[in-house]
Amino acid sequence: MRIVHKGSLSGFCLLAAVLVFFTAPCKGAVYTWKGNGAEWAKNSHWYSTGVPTELDYVIFSANPREDPFVNANAAAAAINFAAGVRTTTISGTVYTLSIVLGMTNNSVNQQIINVPLNLTGSQEWKAAAGDFSIGGSANLNGNMLTVSGDHDTTINGSISGTGGIIKNGSGTLTLNGNNTFSGPVSINGGTVVLNSEGTIRNVLSISVNAGKLFLGGNGGWAESSAEVYLLGGDLEIGDQSEGLGELQISAHSRIKLKPGGAATILRFAGANWSGGSLTIYGWSGQPGHPGTDDRIFFESKPNDMFLIYVTFAGFDPGGMVLDVGNSWELVPVPETSDYALMTGLALLIFSVHRRLALVNP
Quote the pLDDT of residue 24: 43
282, 257 Cβ separation under 8 angstroms: yes
Residue pLDDT, tens place only, 293-327: 999 999 999 999 999 999 999 999 999 999 999 99
Name residues whose C-beta falls within 8 Å of residue 83's C-beta, 6 or more positions apart in sequence.
Answer: 106, 107, 108, 129
Residues (pLDDT < 70) of the chain are 1-27, 217-223, 261, 336-361
Question: Tell me, what DSSP letter sits at residue 356?
Answer: H
CB count, 10 Å around CB of 276?
14
Residue pLDDT, tens place only, 98-146: 999 999 999 999 999 999 999 999 999 999 999 999 999 999 999 999 9
Please count the CA atoms within 13 angstroms of the CA of 241 that sit on its side-chain side: 13
Distance (Å, rounded) from C-alpha 214 to C-alpha 196? Answer: 11
Distance (Å, rounded) from C-alpha 276 to C-alpha 258? Answer: 23
Distance (Å, rounded) from C-alpha 175 to C-alpha 138? Answer: 12
Helix (H, G, I), strand (E, B) or coil at 139: strand
Q: Nearest CA to 61 among 17, 106, 96, 115?
A: 106
* Domain residue spans of the chain: 71-359
Distance (Å, rounded) from C-alpha 15 to C-alpha 77? Answer: 14
Laid out side by side, the sheet with 111-114 consists of 89-91, 111-114, 132-134, 153-155, 172-175, 191-194, 212-215, 234-237, 253-256, 278-281, 310-312
Distance (Å, rounded) from C-alpha 26 to C-alpha 341? Answer: 76
Helix (H, G, I), strand (E, B) or coil at 346: helix
150, 130 Cβ separation under 8 angstroms: no
Residue type, 282: G
Distance (Å, rounded) from C-alpha 344 to C-alpha 356? Answer: 18
158, 178 Cβ separation under 8 angstroms: yes
